[in-house]
Structure 1
């Protein structure tokens, strides 16, 4: 067996359940992300996407089941250290960045997965931060203040911040929310370019919109009412019947010549999402 075959999955979820009182947030979730796989998570509001992210990043205590990151089990290791192996980009976290903080300082704060970078001396960390910004195509924004960045620029800076800790897994929680169509296209293009330069980085993209599932996404997880409705290679999961069940409507899923998926209602061909 080769060394590559000996490596544990980046993420392993087995029998994950989250209950709060009589409310079932997640039930019986089994999911594995291997090195180099790029996943999209789809599901309607209330399907369990947010709860799943919170559970795998140790912000929500599971009621049952097991979560492992690179072979380390939740509850059996220092989860703060494990969490540093996961880069997460979320609007909830981004809202806590001070408006008067320079983009490069925001990026450097990602090295310890903590917001706020108060050591102002120049160091090799700054060089690394510039490289991470360059990877996202925004190194020219290094000394721009957070408060004057556009939404798309902020998302790119925050991905650069997530890359500072050299994570094995990058989680993007609805990164295109609030972007206009042109900004969204530019953002997804920069994301695709970043992925091409970091082939071993696992990716999880959470979205409501199938058109954001770009060609480099290899697998799709579909949630419905806290359970896994479908999971696996993209071509097997992106089916009209599966997504119709997920969103509670009759839909038609198609793919254009550029490899971009589109979802429309089955009755009139109009866009559903």
Structure 2
């Protein structure tokens, strides 16, 4: 049996008196493809940045590639992980060019170093061109649209041919073409490589069939985890969301969740009387 490539036991992260994630137990085996699903504020980004070695945890146990993070190995481990998280990297990148950001993936840092060679530059340029950023290669991060910044981070994540690919709501800000391009890229990597993929979203239609495993996060806790087909059903998801939903599949490839949610905004605008729901 394969040893986990990611292993968590009672992992927690606490800020002041509040836990952002608490008591997470989770194993990811080499080549597995996981969807992590939860609403805003459920701890998804916090968990991912801990896994990728960019944030310390306060309690529990974590091993990646069979090693706990230390000051000595953190950069070497980061080089083997591709992380896409605009909510994280937007705090650190501003005036850096798209090219330099992609090249920084080689080192697991936020900046580039003298070890850059011509082959690295050629590869980074090709990735940015494939992601429709050929004319943005030397543009600063803060002068790009949200979708363009997201594509820069995708190129950075892919640059080192990672063994683990962690995607934190990667479709955010992408137009319809770029979104389908990304989802097709993820499908291709899942079906034709040995990369372990962790894909975080709060949109069920992004949970394509290659994600055969799923972890649900709610208020920093693991609500449940296991086979996606066993988790994404009407009864279990209604309980998870605390609202009645109807779950169905779209062409056997995507999950559709329908919610009958009434809006009182129009009545409030017009000053109409509103009945309690």
Structures share fold, TM-score greater than 0.5: yes
Q: CA deviation at 1:35?
A: 1.0
RMSD, aligned α-carbons: 3.0
Contact 1:66 1:74 (8 Å CA) reproduced? no
Q: Which residue of 2 aligns with 1:10?
A: 5
Contact 1:10 1:33 (8 Å CA) reproduced? yes
Contact 1:85 1:165 (8 Å CA) reproduced? yes
Indicate the SS of the match to 1:167.
coil
Contact 1:214 1:259 (8 Å CA) reproduced? yes
Pick from 87, 93, 100 the counterpart of residue 89 of structure 2.
93
In structure 1, list runs of 5 or more residues that go unmatched.
269-273
Distance in 1 (alpha carbons) for counterparts of 2:115 and 2:13: 42
Indicate the SS of the match to 1:171.
strand
Contact 1:113 1:165 (8 Å CA) reproduced? no
TM-score normalised to the size of structure 2?
Answer: 0.79
Q: CA deviation at 1:221?
A: 0.4
Q: Which residue of 2 aligns with 1:37?
A: 32
1:27 and 1:94, CA in 2 relative to 1: closer, same or farther beyond 3 A? Answer: closer
The size of the alignment, in residue pairs, is 260
CA deviations on 1:212-265 (whole Å, 9 max, x unpaired) are 112222211001122211111211121222222332211111111151111111
Equivalent runs, 1:1-273 vs 2, <5 Å: 5=1, 7-75=2-70, 78-91=73-86, 92-94=88-90, 96-98=92-94, 101=97, 103-117=98-112, 119=114, 123-130=118-125, 132-133=127-128, 138=132, 140=134, 143=137, 145=139, 151-197=146-192, 199-257=193-251, 259-265=253-259
1:22 and 1:152, CA in 2 relative to 1: closer, same or farther beyond 3 A? Answer: closer
Between 146-155 and 241-250, report the one with greater CA deviation: 146-155
Contact 1:18 1:24 (8 Å CA) reproduced? yes
In structure 2, list runs of 5 or more residues that go unmatched.
263-277
CA deviations on 1:185-224 (whole Å, 9 max, x unpaired) are 3332233234444x11111111110001122222110011
Indicate the SS of the match to 1:112.
coil
1:130 and 1:21, CA in 2 relative to 1: closer, same or farther beyond 3 A? Answer: closer
Q: CA deviation at 1:156?
A: 3.3
Distance in 1 (alpha carbons) for counterparts of 2:115 and 2:58: 42
Q: CA deviation at 1:98?
A: 4.8
